[in-house]
Structure 1
Amino acid sequence: MHTNNFKILFALSFTVFINTFSFAQDIKKQQDSIKPVVKETTLIKADTLIDPVISEKSQDSTLTDSIKPKKEILENIVVYSATDYTKFSNKKQKLYLYNEAKIDYGDMNITAGSIVIDYTKNTVYAKGIVDTTGAYNQKPVFTQGNNIVEPDSIIFNTESKKALIYNSKTEQGEGTVVATITKKENDSVYFLKNAKYTTAENLEDPEYYIKLRKAKIVPGKKIVTGLANLFIYDVPTPLGLPFGFFPQTETHTSGIIIPTFGEQNDRGYFLQNGGYYFAISDYIDLAVLGDYYTNGSYGLRLESTYNKRYRYRGNLGFRYENLITSERGFPDYAKNTIYNLRWSHSQDSKANPSSRFSASVNLGSSTYYRSSLNQINTGAFLNNTLASSVSYSKTFQGEPQVNFSLTATHSQNTSTEQINMTLPTFQGSVGRVFPFASKTGTKKGIIQNVNLQYNVRGENRIQTTDSLFFKKEMFDDAKAGFQHNIPLSTNFKLFKYFSLTASSNYNEVWTFKTVDKTFDPVAREVVTETVNGFDSFRTYNFSTSLGTTIYGLFNFEKEGKDAKIKAIRHIMRPSISYNINPSFDKYYDTFEIVSADGLTTEDVDFTRFEESIFGVPNRNFSSSMGISLSNNIEAKVRDRDSTATEPKKITILNNLNFSTAYNFAGDSLQWSPVRMNGSTQLFKDKLSINFGATLDPYALDNNNNKIDKFNIDNGGSLFRLTSASLNASWSLSSKKGDKNKDKDRGIDENLRSGGRADDLFGVSEDFANQQINRDKDNEDDVPSELYNYKVPWSLRIAYAVNYSNNRRQNQISSHSIMFSGDIQLSDKWSIGGSSGYDLKDAGFTFTQLRFERDLLSWRMNFSWVPFSTRSSWNFFIGIKSSILQDLKYEQRRQPDIQL
């Protein structure tokens, strides 16, 4: 009887114990493990109860018992153990487990220094033990799946199912609740007294916490508190609330986005970036944000991100601002509306290998980035071009392979406010076909290498302005057409070392608008009439090229000497080509211009295909030869690594190219200018250099016009330098100096806005959004306890100079240097900046200075634009955790933008 009572009582108490603590996740404290003393361990297993055998005679198939059978007390095998001892007192009706006490039941696990079950008082008590040094070890730990609870001690009643938990640390969402006393009311409600809520990592000495005098916790749902205020290093602050509500959930949910308060000189006080976040589903969300200024200006932002694994991902954003300057009735009163639409979509390569859809859209008002008041656009206000592309492509496998694509493009110049669009562009092609090649083996000879393919391209082009964008007038002057192209080519080896390529190209253009020109003798002007209807023209040409590759090797190695430079290899690829383009005079017409006296006439030639989007037929016969030479220079040097067995290869010149042409059919100026360009990378690819120049062999007359006379015959040099350019970019950093997550997010924002892929023009100042999930980015950064004398840093320098001398102006047309950098003064302090200097006009370009301080659970940012029309500053301090991201302070002075 004692054995049965014991098993039943133990099972009941254990079940209550499990139900009591399956409510939240605690952060397990890291502590040194104590090796157990090897002693005899008592192991008791309680088998599941066996159903009683029921006699078949006593069963009545016509009767059904309305009372459901009771659930088995034990559904799994119970295993409990302790290192020192496990005993049961019949007198006190208590079960004792001591030193590394452990109970396993299914996926439940309880470990503690001491566990006592009192059957007379219906209580279970778990606590740690004190070792020989007086330290309190082996605190109770309850584990169920991923849920962990680790208090100092636990006591609860098995009848009332209420419990008291002392000094518990429980993880609730992104934060942790540290409570002196926790009362469990039932399985889903807990009451706390004098608790602390913090997102700090150091729970023993948190740098901040919100003190909860009284609180109610519903695990996984909410925390409701009474009077609560903010403490910073145990120092109370006046920041508090008479009551508070902290939503707790493991999934993303909808909620209010707290706005930023500030003042703008021209528009008064404002609320900015406030709104509501909609957690639509696991695949898509939506943030609706708004700005309001007391002078009547307002703004609206819609931001949505979507993602479906192995299918697609993207983001969509729309921004609209209605900006008012001054007050109605004043002479400087102005009102302007600006907008911007951005959409980025990419398809996973695994979704469909034969078709692909992608989008990169950035369109809107030309003045949007210059006029916007939102600091998120700081790094993009210098953009002078907006571009968009939406495309779909499909491939049909087979022999030959067929491809087609549909693309809509958009290009917008923000300075001239001119917009060019193609709605849409259709492209189709049939793969290359070798009609004379054998079905097996390689293709050899001029005949077997003959190949052809078919390409078609159709466009509907629209050219409009910013004022007519998205209005019906923008379609009035739309131009459409198709271009068919069939290239026929072959290639073969000549004299073993030369490669000869010959090709012919057939081109046919369809258009739906042509023109007819006549001269009006009364108005004395040329009249151009548009003729709607289908028309076409056909052209063809022939070209051939001969090229080879020459290798030169200069060996510096000598026997018995370990030279630093082993060898230099020079690769030259000379090429000569010939092109012939017939004249297609049949597509040209003539009209007469009669003078005022009616006696003199002038014949003017024109082609009715002047409005064709794919050009006009060639009227002038051309026969030209092209000459080009490309160079590549590399070197093998001794590797500094003494363990290396092979020399190290470095690049001296990536490429150095020369090209020119000679027109046999021309009557003058037959030689084209010599164009030179090249690039190289130095210092382990840190320094990138690109250069180019144009050399003209012909001279200029006294009016600076080109004449048909060589410059050397006119008393000058062989070539006349007409233009030159040099661009260099240098990126330097220490080993850890280029790891800046916030700056990377700002650069991503620049790219989405059509800006640079670096911070030379500054980065976004949207500090409030950058704090989200920032703490997760630095999980692997373990600070060293030793002083680190190496300060992480990074530096980027861009230099550009352009020279013009086309008409003897002999001037530097542009000359500037841009630079940006970051320095991490300590583990917590970092500064950075972006600026530039115009060496021609002697003035600084856009300058942005950045300061950042990591305050553990907090972060502080300060951005300053000291001068220019964008002069402004922005200060921010706030908590990193997204759940408390609205606990922040932000103050800024916005630029005074006059519309």
Structure 2
Amino acid sequence: MAQETGDKNDVKIEPEIKKVATDSMPTYEMPVNLAVVDTVNIDSVKTDTLPKKKPLLEEKVLDNAKGYRKYNTKENKIYLYDEAYLKYGDMELTAGIIIVDLNKNVAYAKGIVDSTGTYTQIPVFKQGSQDVNPDSLEVNIKTQKGLVYGSRTVQGEMNVRTQIVKKENDTLYYIYNTKITTSSHPDDDPEYYIKIKKGVLVPGVKVIAGFSQMYFYDVPTPIAVPFAFFPMTSEQKSGLIFPTFGEGSRGYFIQNGGYYFALSDYADLAITGDYYTNGSYGLNTQSAYALRYKFKGSFSFNYENLINGQKGFSSYARTSIYNLRWSHSQDSKASANSRFSASVNLGSSKYYKNSLNQSNTSNFLNNTMSSSISYSKTFPEYPSVNLSLTATHSQNTNTEVVSLTLPTLQASVERMYPFAPKEGSKKGIFQNINFQYTLNGSNSIETVDSLFMKKEMFDDAELGFKHTIPVTTNFKLFKYFSASLNFNYNDVWEFQTVRYNDYDTGLNDVVIDTIRGFDRFGTYNMGASLGTTVYGTFNFGEDKKIQAIRHVLRPSVSYSYTPSFDNYYDYYIADAEGTVADYTRFSGGLYGSPGKSYSNSIGFTLNNTLEAKVRDRDSTATEPKKIKLLNNLNFSSSYNIAADSLAWSAVTMTGSTQFFDSKMTVNFGATLDPYALDASGTRIDKFNIDNGGSLFRLTKANLSTGYSFSSKDFGKGKNEEEEEEANPQNAVTGGRTDDLFGVSQDFTDSRAMGRDEENDNEISNESYNNSIPWDLKFSYSFTYTNSARQAKISTNSLMFSGNIELSPRWKVGASSGYDFKDHGFTYTQFRFQRDLESWQLNFNWVPFSTRSSWYFFIGINSSVLSDLKWEKRRPSNQTL
């Protein structure tokens, strides 16, 4: 009673502050009056006849408060004020005020009102992994049942706000007047929420609710259901994927509906399907997998059975298309001496053109598909050996020609210097002599799309091996010249050769037999090269804007000798007149055939680079800035000493330069022929200048460039290395990673939903940085051909795309192009996107072409509530 009836004149003694630490709770700064209420009654007298009395509380109660701790003996209550703390078992409670009724074993908690009138130190109730922030609560510390008022908690992606919660046990809560939302500001006017009258919450698992209704900014909507189920988990869970509905040229349809399987923490699987009322259907499977520090990858297979027209009519057509994609990459930490990788994209040549699935909208412009699966192994012991196996696939979707290697073997032995000293550097011709051994083996198949993976595909498979032993050496000559000598020997093994029979008058043709069996041929060649580097600097003065220009020339001359291997050639009668022709049995071989032509040629090459030293615009810079005027400008040609005519080859010119701080690269090239043409356009052994023309004839020219820039390039603190991938989903479906060919995106894919919180944090209510973010990309290509006076422009096209953010949450974009040769626009797409915080609105429109279509979508960003959406589309009317 002294604590309550003490003399007011007593001297107040401040409690001594000590650090107290326990095994079950963190270290706190607290007064010495920290109480440990132990209600475990222990009988001091042992008895064999009476059972032990069950304790009032089975565990100790730990409590603390910054302001004061008061124990009222009359009421048998503990009062904790200001940063109050209470712990019992796995239950922790912090609040402004905590009152513990020891008679009822009930704890009451609420916040306190500070001097400004703000309700602070709101209670925080923790039990296990659950964390609840209510306005106030009362809980039985023994049974752990209780009532929570104004509860605020996060369950997975959901923010749950409940007026009253009745806690039954650790896994069951009854909720009343609850709001569920994925808004980033659930307590401050959320843009939407789902209101539940009554329901049951299983923390971290689900909410089972009765009548539920959606509200927009506290305005009720007609969107309501009599009962609802909400998953509340941050882990992957299996479940249904809600489909997309629409109408098109093949009738009504559903797309991308199916089931998602959360197989494990390392892999998942999604199986979806499409169905059209005219009988067309599709099946799609997609899986991703990853094992940290080992590998990661993804796999997908898409199949579509397409029907055009009505059965029984001439317009009826039915076809099947498919596409297989697999990507696998090994972590560099997984193995130091071996590596496995895969990048597969194969299927029907008309898959992208005829696919009805929304995710392939812009990929119909793809005209090639390629694949590569490789395994490499290094044996590090000297001499080290590198071994690799690669299976490749290349497919032209226009010609439908498919080329495969199943597989290609490559093995090489480390370069060895047999005459080099064991220590010190190598000097001279002799010590620099080196050689190595390389083995190439391949099983090559070329077929067409209709025969792919059928028995006939393997009928014309070619198998061969090539052994190569290069011997080289290099040395300095006259101090300023670098010289090299080389000798190469090739030995080719073939398992299929040909034999040309004499002309058959009955068949009126030459019969060619294919001979199965081992055969081989060997070839060799030798050569030498001599080159140097010349520097030229032109100084204009440090007070000039352009202070200096440096020109670097790298001229080189080379010599090559290849003998004639006519011993591998035979003769046959080619026609009825008895014309004799020669052939080699290795004709059409996998690694070529031995040459019959004797070659003795000299090659000339001149490489140029041009740099400038200019005064930096930054006045604080102490050094001038170096810029490249020409990255390279190369000229090459050759002269065949053994040729009796047309000894000079065409001069090839290639080059590149950069603009706008090296962000725009321009590549150009040309082919210049010194020989003239006759009246029929045939190249003749007469120089063009001697035929009344110029020194060279321009036979081919090309120019290509691309540039990408944005508003960030004109702002301060820009990151020059920043490079964003405009449309990563295009890459997943086998398309381009930029948006020059438009954006391919299925907004209904719940696995792709979710907000970019990093971008959200950048959006503020300020003046939007007094700028409007934008970006622009373009790509230009030009090719000119004049090999036989046709003076033809082969390609002349411009592709461009751009995006602009009209406001922090409004973004519009467009992709298009123009073909100056055929005078028409290329694939054009307009995009509109509205970020509604928790919601997303998208509208894509292709205004013209056979792929004209539009697609409208509005839905919740959260993957949990992705089925709450509305979409409308008009698909393209492309036919098979």
Structure 2 residue 516 is the aligned partner of structure 1 residue 526: no
1:252 corresponds to which letter in structure 2?
A: Q
Q: 1:672 aligns with which of 649, 657, 671?
A: 649
1:376-402 CA-to-partner distances (Å, cap 9, x unmatched) read 012311011110111111000021110
Structure 2 residue 625 is the aligned partner of structure 1 residue 645: no
Separation in 2, partners of 1:157, 1:494: 95
> Residue 43 of structure 1 contacts residue 81 of structure 1 at CA under 8 Å; is this kept in 2?
no
> Residue 729 of structure 2 contacts residue 745 of structure 2 at CA under 8 Å; is this kept in 1?
no
> Residue 63 of structure 2 contacts residue 84 of structure 2 at CA under 8 Å; is this kept in 1?
no
- Structure 1 residue 47: deviation in Å? 8.2
Separation in 2, partners of 1:606, 1:590: 6
1:468-505 CA-to-partner distances (Å, cap 9, x unmatched) read 01101100111111101000000000000100010000
RMSD of the alignment, in Å?
Answer: 2.6
2:222 aligns with 238
1:94 aligns with 77
Q: Percent identity at matched positions?
A: 56
- Structure 1 residue 233: deviation in Å? 0.9
1:749 corresponds to which letter in structure 2?
A: Q
1:305 corresponds to which letter in structure 2?
A: A
1:634 aligns with 611
1:840 aligns with 821
2:359 aligns with 376
The residue correspondences of 1:103-502 to structure 2 (distance < 5 A) are 103=86, 109-143=92-126, 147-157=130-140, 161-204=144-187, 205-264=189-248, 266-502=249-485
Separation in 2, partners of 1:544, 1:749: 50
Go from structure 1 to structure 2 and tell me whether the alpha carbon gap of 1:824 and 1:764 turns closer, same or farther (over 3 Å shift): same
> Residue 783 of structure 2 contacts residue 796 of structure 2 at CA under 8 Å; is this kept in 1?
yes
TM-score scaled by length of structure 2: 0.92
2:541 aligns with 557
Q: 1:768 aligns with which of 748, 772, 776?
A: 748
SS in 2 for 1:539: strand
1:728-782 CA-to-partner distances (Å, cap 9, x unmatched) read 112110129999xxx9777333334443332111121211227523344535424
Separation in 2, partners of 1:215, 1:655: 72
The residue correspondences of 1:774-789 to structure 2 (distance < 5 A) are 774-778=755-759, 780-789=761-770
Separation in 2, partners of 1:670, 1:482: 33
1:703 corresponds to which letter in structure 2?
A: S
1:870 aligns with 851
Range with greater deviation from structure 2 (186-195 or 196-205): 186-195
Go from structure 1 to structure 2 and tell me whether the alpha carbon gap of 1:615 and 1:54 turns closer, same or farther (over 3 Å shift): farther
1:683 corresponds to which letter in structure 2?
A: F
Separation in 2, partners of 1:862, 1:260: 15
1:155 corresponds to which letter in structure 2?
A: E
> Residue 151 of structure 2 contacts residue 165 of structure 2 at CA under 8 Å; is this kept in 1?
yes
- Structure 1 residue 637: deviation in Å? 1.2
Structure 2 residue 692 is the aligned partner of structure 1 residue 715: yes
> Residue 453 of structure 1 contacts residue 488 of structure 1 at CA under 8 Å; is this kept in 2?
yes
> Residue 113 of structure 1 contacts residue 129 of structure 1 at CA under 8 Å; is this kept in 2?
yes
Structure 2 residue 529 is the aligned partner of structure 1 residue 574: no
TM-score scaled by length of structure 1: 0.90
Structure 1: stretches of 5+ with no match in the other structure: 4-37
The residue correspondences of 1:676-695 to structure 2 (distance < 5 A) are 676-695=653-672
- Structure 1 residue 144: deviation in Å? 5.3
Structure 2 residue 510 is the aligned partner of structure 1 residue 510: no
Structure 2 residue 781 is the aligned partner of structure 1 residue 800: yes
- Structure 1 residue 710: deviation in Å? 0.6
Range with greater deviation from structure 2 (400-409 or 153-162): 153-162
Range with greater deviation from structure 2 (578-587 or 44-53): 44-53
Go from structure 1 to structure 2 and tell me whether the alpha carbon gap of 1:745 and 1:622 turns closer, same or farther (over 3 Å shift): closer
Go from structure 1 to structure 2 and tell me whether the alpha carbon gap of 1:113 and 1:52 turns closer, same or farther (over 3 Å shift): closer
1:783 corresponds to which letter in structure 2?
A: S
Separation in 2, partners of 1:149, 1:659: 76
The residue correspondences of 1:595-606 to structure 2 (distance < 5 A) are 595=576, 601-606=578-583
- Structure 1 residue 687: deviation in Å? 1.6
Structure 2 residue 565 is the aligned partner of structure 1 residue 584: yes
2:593 aligns with 616
Separation in 2, partners of 1:777, 1:891: 30
Separation in 2, partners of 1:364, 1:260: 25
Q: 1:750 aligns with which of 723, 730, 735?
A: 730
1:113 corresponds to which letter in structure 2?
A: G
Separation in 2, partners of 1:69, 1:496: 103
2:868 aligns with 887
Separation in 1, partners of 2:535, 2:58: 84
Structure 2 residue 20 is the aligned partner of structure 1 residue 44: no
Separation in 2, partners of 1:552, 1:532: 61
Go from structure 1 to structure 2 and tell me whether the alpha carbon gap of 1:191 and 1:714 turns closer, same or farther (over 3 Å shift): same
Structure 2: stretches of 5+ with no match in the other structure: 4-28
1:24 aligns with none
Go from structure 1 to structure 2 and tell me whether the alpha carbon gap of 1:777 and 1:374 turns closer, same or farther (over 3 Å shift): farther
- Structure 1 residue 639: deviation in Å? 1.3
1:27 aligns with none
2:505 corresponds to which letter in structure 1?
A: P
Separation in 1, partners of 2:461, 2:753: 46
1:803 corresponds to which letter in structure 2?
A: Y
Separation in 2, partners of 1:406, 1:70: 73
Range with greater deviation from structure 2 (216-225 or 485-494): 216-225
Range with greater deviation from structure 2 (482-491 or 115-124): 115-124
1:25 aligns with none
1:626-662 CA-to-partner distances (Å, cap 9, x unmatched) read 0001111111111122222111111111111100010
1:537 aligns with 521
SS in 1 for 2:647: coil
> Residue 775 of structure 1 contacts residue 880 of structure 1 at CA under 8 Å; is this kept in 2?
no
Go from structure 1 to structure 2 and tell me whether the alpha carbon gap of 1:260 and 1:125 turns closer, same or farther (over 3 Å shift): same
- Structure 1 residue 802: deviation in Å? 1.1
Separation in 2, partners of 1:133, 1:359: 64
> Residue 43 of structure 1 contacts residue 79 of structure 1 at CA under 8 Å; is this kept in 2?
no
- Structure 1 residue 693: deviation in Å? 0.5
> Residue 387 of structure 1 contacts residue 754 of structure 1 at CA under 8 Å; is this kept in 2?
no
Separation in 2, partners of 1:357, 1:68: 67
Range with greater deviation from structure 2 (157-166 or 585-594): 157-166
Range with greater deviation from structure 2 (484-493 or 191-200): 191-200
> Residue 312 of structure 1 contacts residue 346 of structure 1 at CA under 8 Å; is this kept in 2?
yes
Range with greater deviation from structure 2 (184-193 or 609-618): 184-193
1:142-187 CA-to-partner distances (Å, cap 9, x unmatched) read 3457643211111234576532211111111100111111112233
1:503-551 CA-to-partner distances (Å, cap 9, x unmatched) read 0000010001111111213333211111111100000000111011111
SS in 1 for 2:864: helix
SS in 2 for 1:432: coil
The residue correspondences of 1:692-711 to structure 2 (distance < 5 A) are 692-711=669-688
1:293-327 CA-to-partner distances (Å, cap 9, x unmatched) read 11111000000000000000000000000011122
- Structure 1 residue 71: deviation in Å? 8.9
Range with greater deviation from structure 2 (122-131 or 475-484): 122-131
1:407-455 CA-to-partner distances (Å, cap 9, x unmatched) read 1111111001010101111111111010000100001110000000000
Separation in 1, partners of 2:202, 2:538: 79
1:563 corresponds to which letter in structure 2?
A: K
1:716-735 CA-to-partner distances (Å, cap 9, x unmatched) read 11111111111111211012
SS in 1 for 2:730: helix
- Structure 1 residue 620: deviation in Å? 0.8
Go from structure 1 to structure 2 and tell me whether the alpha carbon gap of 1:340 and 1:593 turns closer, same or farther (over 3 Å shift): closer
Range with greater deviation from structure 2 (660-669 or 141-150): 141-150
Q: What is the total number of aligned residue pairs between the two structures? A: 846
